[in-house]
Amino acid sequence: MRVFEFIAAGYPDWSRSYGKAIVCKILVVGACVWSAAMLTMTSTAAEPPIRVLITDGYSNHDWRLTTALIRGILKPTGLFDVSVATAPPTKDAPGWDTWRPKFSDYDVVVQTCNDLGGGPSWPRAVQRDFEQFVRNGGGVYVWHAGNNAFTDWPAYNEMIGLGWRKRDFGWAISVSDDGKLTRIPAGEGENTGHGERVDTVVHRLGDDPIHAGLPRAWKTPDIEVYYYARGPAKDIQVLSFGFDPHTQMNWPLEWTVRYGKGRVYTSTFGHVWRGDTQPERMRCAGLQTVVVRALQWLADRPTNFPVPPDFPTADRVSIRGEIALTDVP
């Protein structure tokens, strides 16, 4: 059974509600309590908003809708000041020679750009600026398709740890049912891939601050579990794993990497494909909570965003209403 909760503004998605009236009443009360707690937290916070830059411009995914949905998730929290740097789609496009985001003006970069969609690698000057930003303490959230990008950029491969790569590229990491990690050398197994998107139980590993107070296991809808993601896998911490039906194995779903003084968080959550409008995987209460927590951690702020009453359980997903889009693609 799916539980359909509320959009951030607190309005129920009645058109797809499956709960009984009494369940809805309980959820309304819970949502109101959580909303009040969130508003109290944001209104009394002494720290300024976290400055976030989303980098987009091309991808084999729907990058315009991805950016709009991310902004729609972050805006209601009041915790972020979000900007967007859109790369020109080709080296011949107007603005390519002058596109140079000032990463140092931000606390965290949400990287969605993906040259598998036909776009170019970033100009070397932009790559150097990005490397320096992270090395000096900046945070990077590698959003789904951003993990597939820039195979030929060595520093980027180190930052993401594991990426969508060929079987001979580097290490892969599998996870046993009891949480033990196994490193698989280059050449063994398959190219990075994924099976059918399925509702997947997210199993936490350890007690990372991003996950503080969350259940040890929770279900998220319709996601891709990447198998044999590969890379240097240096200074990597696997935060969670999920089961892939194709390989019949467990693989990392979230991981972090330390690069210089900076922090990098990657997950396979957040797939937005061409033809999507309001995908359930983006309206998951679990994803929306973890996104905020991850950004707080990346900005070296307290990871104190509250766990909402509609957070999913190990046997039940929790899908909220439509995300408000201010920038509709």
pLDDT score for 30: 44
pLDDT score for 118: 82
Q: Does residue 25 fall inside a structural domain?
A: no
pLDDT score for 327: 65
The Cα 10–Cα 35 span in angstroms is 8
The Cα 68–Cα 131 span in angstroms is 26
**Which residues, 6+ apart, have CB-to-CB distance to 62 below 8 Å?**
272, 273, 274, 275, 276, 329
Q: Does residue 15 fall inside a structural domain?
A: no
The Cα 35–Cα 31 span in angstroms is 6
pLDDT score for 6: 39
Query: What is the count of structural domains for the chain?
Result: 1
pLDDT score for 78: 97
Q: Does residue 150 fall inside a structural domain?
A: yes
Q: Does residue 299 fall inside a structural domain?
A: yes
Contact 168, 328 (CB under 8 A): no
β-bridge partners, 175 = 181, 250
pLDDT score for 47: 86
pLDDT score for 197: 95
Which tens digits make up the pLDDT trace of 134-168?
A: 999 999 999 999 999 999 999 999 999 999 999 99
Q: Does residue 133 fall inside a structural domain?
A: yes
Taking 50 as the pLDDT cut, the residues of the chain under it are 1, 3-33, 35-37, 39-40, 42-44
Q: What is the CATH number of the domain that holds 74?
A: 3.40.50.880
pLDDT score for 46: 72
Q: Is 13 helix (H, G, I), strand (E, B) or coil?
A: coil
Q: Does residue 20 fall inside a structural domain?
A: no
pLDDT score for 138: 98
CB atoms within 10 A of CB 255: 24
pLDDT score for 300: 98
pLDDT score for 34: 52
Q: What is the dihedral of CA 165, 250, 179, 319, to 10 degrees?
A: 100
pLDDT score for 19: 45
Listed residue (259, 280, 258) closest to 269, CA to CA: 280
pTM (predicted TM-score): 0.87
Q: Does residue 17 fall inside a structural domain?
A: no
- Residue 30 parent element (H or E): helix 21-44
pLDDT score for 22: 39
> Which residues span the domain enclosing 91?
49-319
Q: Does residue 79 fall inside a structural domain?
A: yes
pLDDT score for 23: 40
